[in-house]
Structure 1
Amino acid sequence: MNSRWIVGAGDHLDLVFHAWKQAYPDEHIQKVEVPQGADYEFDLSVFDTLNPELGDVFIAFDDRFGNFKRMELFRAALERGFTLASFVSTSADIGQDVTLGKNVFIGPQAVIGHGCKLDYNSVVHAGAHIGANSRIRASVWIEPGVQIGARVEIGAHAIIRTGAIVRSGIKVGKGAELGWPQLYSADIADKTVYDTRYDEPIFVYGS
């Protein structure tokens, strides 16, 4: 039997590992923790203990550093020849013609409307709703209970926090973070951060 390795660190590693074990108890699933140093660099030597011909990998890491640390592990696995699987909870409601990229996680009771496209390395947590024909770009993080309308586009590396409601037809820019628990009814520029610690959004300019 081929193995499935859940590779990463932190709470999200535990969440994904247990979700996969519960959904597929007959599969050979192993949790592989990747150490990090004081400088947050990963010890990628853990991949050397795994044989890409004997199983596939799911990368499980949270939204820290704008989802780029999860992307770093994702790229390391691809460079070493691993196949990256995606996970869809058995209790999620997935519409017709939904397209999932590599290493996508869809949690329990999530609803993904018909015609949606979710690019690689994105996370949709439990109870989130995404309306029909929406586009979720690469390495997005959508927290539990988020409500996203139809025909919404979420830019790469965006973070949508619990309590956010995104009206239909809205475009959320690359690297934006919607942290205020409110209705977002206008387009959001790239790298705009709504942080609950501040009364005004933070605008980040430049590359």
Structure 2
Amino acid sequence: MIGHGQELARALAAWRSVASPSALDLRPLELDPAAGQAALDGFHGLDGEGASAFVALDARFLNGMRLDLMASLRLRGITMPALVEPGALVAAGVRMDDNCWIGAGAIIQHGSRIGFNTVIGAGAIVGSGVTIGHSAWIDEGVVIGRGARIGAQVTLGLGVIVGHGRQIGKLCIVDKAGRIEQDVAARTFIHATHAQPIVIVGA
């Protein structure tokens, strides 16, 4: 278990709730977010046979640190299973890739695909046929309408509702509560403190 602060504690509690103590030997590694991948250098036992890992970090740095750590662990040959908390409802046929985290009470409907390293917060609703790219952060209670497409490394904050069939481009941050009924271009920043969306050019 690799992470920082509250997210690491929450992930530890979640893993303990889905497996018996005899089935898992949980070893938490508290990271300094400023250290990045270097924090793994002194950690022994990650490449042990049968070992697996889970990265639990929040949406800071456009979800990039979680992605970098996951890549480093994959290079070591470490498996990274998805975590589905008790009370989440995941329909048959939903595809979840490595290191996904589905929070308690979340609903993922039929035909949806959740990319690797994506976090779906507690109580979020993901409609049927939705595609969510890798390393996204979907906050608690977010609603994503059926057929929507959410790009890689997108952050959707509290109170966001994405309409049916809408597209949110990669690296967007939508942190303003309300309905999104138009497509959002990649690298767009929508925040309650700004009257208009900001588009990052040349990034």
Alignment TM-score > 0.5, same fold = yes
Check the 8 A contact 2:47/2:76 in 1, yes or no. no
Q: Deviations over 1:11-35 (max 9, x none)?
A: 2111111011122233324242243
User: Aligned ranges for residues 16-55 of structure 1 at < 5 Å?
Assistant: 16-26=11-21, 27-36=23-32, 42-55=38-51
* CA drift at 1:41: 6.1
> Which segment is superposed worse, 99-108 or 89-98?
89-98
C-alpha contact 1:140 1:159 (8 A) present in aligned 2? yes
Task: Note if 1:105 corresponds to 2:104.
Answer: no
* Structure-1-length-normalised TM-score: 0.91
Answer yes or no: is 1:171 the counterpart of 2:145: no
Rate the CA distance shift 1:84–1:40 in 2: closer, same or farther, 3 A.
Answer: closer
- AA at the equivalent of 2:163: R
Contiguous gaps of at least 5 residues in structure 2: none
Following TM superposition, by how much is the alpha carbon of 1:36 offset from its aligned partner in structure 2, in angstroms? 2.5
**What's the secondary structure of 1:16's corresponding residue?**
helix
- TM-score, scaled to structure 2: 0.93
Listed one character per residue, the Cα deviations across residues 33-80 of structure 1 (whole Å, up to 9, x for unaligned) are 243375666412244333331321111111110000001110111111
Q: How does 1:109-120 map to 2 (within 5 A)?
A: 109-120=105-116
Q: Which runs of 4+ in 1 moved over 6 A?
A: none
Q: Number of paired residues?
A: 202
Q: How does 1:50-65 map to 2 (within 5 A)?
A: 50-65=46-61
The answer (yes or no) to whether the contact 1:34–1:46 under 8 Å persists in 2 is no
Give the residue type in structure 1 aligned to 2:128.
Answer: A
* Unaligned residue ranges in structure 1 (runs of 5+): 1-5
Aligned 8 A contact 1:10 1:62 in 2: no
2:55 alignment partner, SS class: strand
Contact 2:118 2:136 in 1 (8 A): yes
CA-based RMSD:
1.6
Identity of aligned residues (%): 30
Question: Relative to structure 1, is the Cα distance of residues 37 and 83 closer, same or farther in structure 2, using a 3 angstrom cutoff?
Answer: closer
SS in 1 for 2:53: strand
Please give the secondary structure, in 2, of the residue aligned with 1:56: coil
Secondary structure of the equivalent of 1:121?
A: coil
